[in-house]
Amino acid sequence: MGKPNDLVQGTLDLLILKTIALEPKHGWAIAKRIQQISREVLQVQQGSLYPALHRLEQKAWIKAKWKETETGRQAKFYSLTAAGRAQLEKEAANWSRLSAAINLVVETP
């Protein structure tokens, strides 16, 4: 129940960091964005985003700000901190290395 479906452990952090790298987003938008970009392949259980977001916030990799949305409601927008940006680069590089290695193993006849 606590883990996102079909997601490799630890990758949720990477996805979140990547998703908000360009502009601040609130939780729902992050979930939506991950779903869209991954062409509906990554089915993130939306609620499990929040423990992850709070954990990242406590680590000071992301910061949050309450702002008004287009509809006029208050929402909590998350954006990257400098430390978060460094962490994103590190994790993205890690991921590339890992996935390339796995590809290599899987696709070798």
Partner 1 sequence: MLWIRRFLLRLQTLFRRHRSAQRLNDEVQFHLDVQIVENLAAGMSPQEARYAAMRIFGNPTFLKEEARHTWGWLWLEHLAHDFRHGLRALRKNFGFTAVAVLTLALGIGANTAIFQLIDALRLRAIPVKEPQQLFTVQLASTIGVRGDQASRYPVLTNPVWEKLRDQQDVFSGVLAWGSNSFGLTPAGEGRLAQGLFVSGDFFHVLGVRSLLGRVFTASDDRPGCGLPGAVVSYAFWQRELGGDPSAIGHKLTLNNHPVEIIGVTPPGFFGLEVGSSYDVAVPICSQAVLWSEGTWLDEGTVWWLNVMGRLKPGTTPEKANAQLAVISPAIFQATLPSNYPGESVKDYLKFKLEAVPGASGVSWLRDQYSESLSLLLGTASLVLLIACANLANLMLARATTREHEFTVRFAIGASRGRLIRHSMTESLLLALLGSALGLFLAGALSKFLVASLGMEGDAPFLDLKPDWRLLAFTFGLASLTCILFGLVPALRASRVSPAEAFKSAGRTATASRKRFGFRQGLVVSQVALSLVLVVGALLFSGSLRNLLAVDAGFSQKGVVIAGLDLFRRLNVPYAGRVAFKQDLLQKIRALPGVVSAAEVEILPLSGNGTINEVWIEGTNPGSRLDSLFNSVSDGYFKAMGIALLAGRDFSPQDTVSSPKVAIVNQTFARKLGLGTSPIGKTFRRQATPSEPEQSFEIVGLVADTKYSSLREEFRPIAFLSTSQDPRPGPSAQLVIRSAAPIAETVSNVRGLVAQASPLITLGFQPFETTILEGLTRERLMAKVSGFFGLLAALIAAVGLYGVMSYLVAQRTNEFGIRVALGAQRADVLSLVLRNAALLLAPGLALGAFLSVAAAQAARAMLFGLKPSDPGVLVAAITGLGLVALLASFLPARRAMRVDPMVALRYE
| 51 makes contact with partner 1 (CB under 8 A) | yes
Q: Which two tokens stand for residue 85?
A: 């940006």
| 9 makes contact with partner 1 (CB under 8 A) | no
- Distance CA(85)–CA(64), nearest Å, equals 15
Q: Of the two residues 15 and 26, which places its CB atom closer to partner 1 in the complex?
A: 26
| 59 makes contact with partner 1 (CB under 8 A) | yes
Binding site for partner 1 (CB under 8 A): 1-2, 26-28, 31, 45-48, 50-51, 53-55, 57-60, 66, 73-76, 83
